[in-house]
């Protein structure tokens, strides 16, 4: 029987080589349910959980539907998921995706959770980036793939990947470029892929499983781009 733990620490970028390992090893208090906002947690298998050498893969998971697609594609690996998405807005959307990944876990998938939410920090960084003409998505990709690479290395995985490459709305070349860069930095293999052809099939399967189906990428900017339309007039002209 597998044992899981939620591990809590103040929200800040951990030193994965030391602090995070100490946090994991020091904890022996199982906590059920969703971690409180304002902290980050790592829901990790206990250290004695065996993995077959050369075949373990940690997949950063932006949502449950895309994880379903990616897991099938990487079927030659022992796949575990990592939910770490601090820039999904608004918070209710973040919570729905978090809980949807927890539902997959109840159905037998192995999923780790880093509960970290940073709206103000995200806005500060990306607004400055856009003023300089830098693509904002690169920040979101980098933060998530950096943390995934570090956790994969520390937890003894052989490689890491991301479900971001399932979406037809993402910059696949940039995602893989950043993933390979973070893999080289951390010293762990990144599996480049383009899984956009699996998007519709994976989402259909997730719908059949009654998993939550999101309607946009995740950040507040993508939410605006997805849903912003001219408002219908009510019969009264309120224009100035």
Other Cβ atoms closer than 10 A to 18:
10
Residue 237 lies in a domain: no
pTM reported for the whole predicted model = 0.73
Contact 85, 182 (CB under 8 A): no
Task: Tally the domains of the chain.
Answer: 1
Indicate the range of 45-49, 120-124, 142-146 predicted with least confidence: 45-49
Residue 222, domain CATH: 3.40.50.620
pLDDT tens digit sequence for 77-113: 999 999 999 888 788 888 888 988 999 999 999 999 9
- CA–CA separation, 36 vs 13, rounded Å? 17
Predicted confidence (pLDDT) at residue 49 exceeds the cutoff of 90: no
Domain around 219: 4-227
Residue 49 lies in a domain: yes
- CA–CA separation, 184 vs 112, rounded Å? 23
Residue 221's SS3 state is helix
Confidence of residue 238 (pLDDT cuts 50, 70, 90): low
Residue 195 lies in a domain: yes
Predicted confidence (pLDDT) at residue 203 exceeds the cutoff of 50: yes
């Amino acid at each position: 029987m597998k044992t899981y733990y939620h591990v809590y620490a103040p929200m800040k970028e951990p030193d994965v080589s030391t602090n995070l390992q100490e946090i994991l090893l020091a904890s022996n208090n199982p906590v059920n349910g969703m971690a409180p906002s304002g902290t980050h947690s790592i829901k990790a298998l206990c250290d004695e959980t065996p993995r077959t050498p050369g075949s373990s893969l940690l997949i950063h998971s932006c949502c449950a539907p895309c994880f379903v697609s990616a897991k099938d594609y990487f079927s030659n690996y022992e796949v575990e998921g990592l939910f770490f998405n601090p820039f999904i807005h608004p918070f209710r959307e973040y919570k729905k995706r978090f809980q949807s990944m927890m539902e997959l876990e109840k159905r037998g998938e192995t999923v780790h959770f880093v509960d970290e939410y940073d709206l103000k920090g995200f806005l500060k960084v990306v607004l400055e980036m856009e003023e300089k003409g830098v693509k904002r998505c690169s920040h979101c990709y980098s933060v998530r793939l950096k943390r995934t690479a570090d956790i994969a290395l520390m937890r003894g995985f052989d490689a890491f990947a991301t479900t971001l490459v399932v979406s037809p709305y993402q910059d696949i070349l940039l995602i893989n470029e950043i993933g390979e860069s973070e893999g080289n930095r951390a010293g762990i293999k990144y599996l480049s892929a383009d899984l956009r052809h699996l998007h519709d099939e994976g989402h259909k399967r997730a719908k059949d499983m009654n998993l939550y189906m999101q309607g946009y990428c995740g950040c507040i900017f993508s939410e605006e781009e997805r849903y912003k339309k001219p408002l219908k007039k009510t019969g009264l002209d309120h224009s100035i």
